[in-house]
Amino acid sequence: MTQVPNLRLNNGVEIPQFGFGVFQVDPDQTAQTVRQAFEAGYRHIDTAQMYRNEEGVGDAIADSGLSRGEVFITTKLNNQNHGFDSAIATLEESLKKLRLEYVDLFLIHWPLPHQDRYVQTWKGFEKLLADGKARSIGVSNFQPAHLDRLAKETDTVPAVNQIELHPLLTQTELRKYHAEHGIATEAWAPIAKGSILGDATLTGLAEKYGRTPAQVVLRWQVQVGNIVFPKSVNPARMRENINVFDFELTADDLAAVEALNTGQRTGPDPDTFGR
């Protein structure tokens, strides 16, 4: 089975660099899909309150026979749950659904800067960390200005920032910021939801390495140091996606993937989302 390396977060917690995302997995199908992902070798699951499928993730964990320490579980605070007290109360709800005593990583899903509540939410997250309800805490879709505010007004540097990141949106500036501040980069939509897989550079590299375009993109993600969790409801694709630890792209080929950047998002702009 594929050997996925762990990365060490800024609080010492280890995270499998390659995981499985369950956005848009039907709540009724989630337990079966996550069971299949475990069979394919995934041990890190990325869910969110917004996905309405935490129960399914919990069922799959309970059925898996895996011990708690063998799986790494992330969930994310839904947008209506911002605020110090709400952040604390809502993680309790997620833990019940997941049937867990703690999550490995709890994220603020979106900063919603126009509401100006993410600093208070983060203070709630610091309490959850201190109370052992989350082994690590982080953010998602935060821009440098939002990270700067947390640094100025709170005591804890986020362990990760989960951002949209793929060959069309390489996020050079944010990756540099993260590296300078000890924040790990998690890449959501790591294969741009499948939209880029017909690109000539990627199909050319796939042919060169005897791999699929998805594997080339995911290998690029791994080699530049990002944490990824592609989603698929198809067991053959689950296996294809995680099978990227036995080949290596050259520096020129990494640069060729990086050169596909156009700044194009598949999802909303974090500065204006939710307004």
Listed residue (260, 242, 272) closest to 112, CA to CA: 272
Known active-site residue 177:
no
CB of residue 67 to ligand NDP, shortest distance in Å:
23
- SS3 at position 77: strand
CB of residue 44 to ligand NDP, shortest distance in Å:
10
CB of residue 157 to ligand NDP, shortest distance in Å:
19
Residue nearest to ligand NDP (CB): 21
Nearer to ligand NDP, 127 or 237 (CB): 237
Nearer to ligand NDP, 195 or 252 (CB): 195
Cα distances from 230 to residues 19, 45, 108, 143, 188, in angstroms, run 7, 10, 20, 22, 8
Active-site position among 42, 51, 118, 177:
51
Can you list the positions of beta strands (E) in the chain? 6-8, 14-16, 20-21, 44-46, 72-77, 105-108, 137-140, 160-164, 184-188, 227-228
Residue 91: how many other CB atoms lie within 10 Å: 25
Copy the structure tokens of residue 206: 């796939």
Nearer to ligand NDP, 64 or 79 (CB): 79
Query: Is there a contact between 113 and 146 (Cβ–Cβ < 8 Å)?
Result: yes
Angle, helices 213-223 vs 251-258, to 10°: value is: 100
In the complex, which residues of this chain contact ligand NDP (CB under 6 A)? 21-23, 46, 109, 140-141, 162, 188-194, 197, 214, 229-234, 237, 240-241, 267
Rounded to whole angstroms, how far apart are CA atoms 224 and 227? Answer: 9
Give alpha helix (H) positions in 131-275: 144-153, 172-181, 200-209, 213-223, 235-242, 251-258
CB of residue 24 to ligand NDP, shortest distance in Å:
6
CB of residue 193 to ligand NDP, shortest distance in Å:
4
CB of residue 232 to ligand NDP, shortest distance in Å:
3
Copy the structure tokens of residue 35: 């069971």
Q: Which residues pair with 75 in a beta bridge?
A: 106
Nearer to ligand NDP, 131 or 247 (CB): 247
Report the relative pairing of strands 6-8 and 44-46 from DSSP bridges: unpaired
Nearer to ligand NDP, 65 or 134 (CB): 134
Q: Which residue numbers are catalytic? A: 51
